[in-house]
Structure 1
Amino acid sequence: MKKARAAQDNGSGPGAVRAADDRDEELERLRKLTAEQAKTIDVLKKATAFFAKESDR
């Protein structure tokens, strides 16, 4: 029992693999979200520039 607990505590047991996989999935999700938000920001900047030009007329 102590060996299993020690392996879990130092991150070398089967739970560590699952945690690493969960972390990798979360990083991938966050990277996709960041890319999507960057595209949205780009569109909003272009729209802002367009409407700023239109309001100057």
Structure 2
Amino acid sequence: MEASRSVGVGETVLRRWVHQLQMERQGVTPQGKAITPDQQRIQELEARIERLERKKAILKKATALLMSEGTERTK
């Protein structure tokens, strides 16, 4: 109770933070915003991978569309 008062948050919030930090230190990637620098970096990289995968899927579809249009023109 004293610790939560000293940082100006409720006890429940402080308990959640402690639990999240313990989980992160065990290697569990958090659902919300990460606390530890390693987990923050992991989240950034996962977000980047997700964006690149979406771009790759779009380019793949566009290429397939262009290829099919090119095939139809030669017929």
Q: Give the TM-score normalised by structure 1.
A: 0.69
2:64 alignment partner in structure 1: 45
1:17 alignment partner in structure 2: 36
- Pairs aligned (count): 43
Q: Which runs of 5+ in 2 are unaligned?
A: 1-24, 27-34
Q: Following the alignment from structure 1 to structure 2, what is the Cα–Cα distance between the partners of residues 25 and 35?
A: 16
Q: CA deviation at 1:40?
A: 0.4
Question: Does 1:36 pair with 2:55?
Answer: yes
Q: Which runs of 4+ in 1 moved over 6 A?
A: none
Q: Give the TM-score normalised by structure 2.
A: 0.53
Q: Following the alignment from structure 2 to structure 1, what is the Cα–Cα distance between the partners of residues 74 and 36?
A: 57
More helix by share: 1
User: What percentage of residue pairs aligned between the two structures are identical?
Assistant: 9
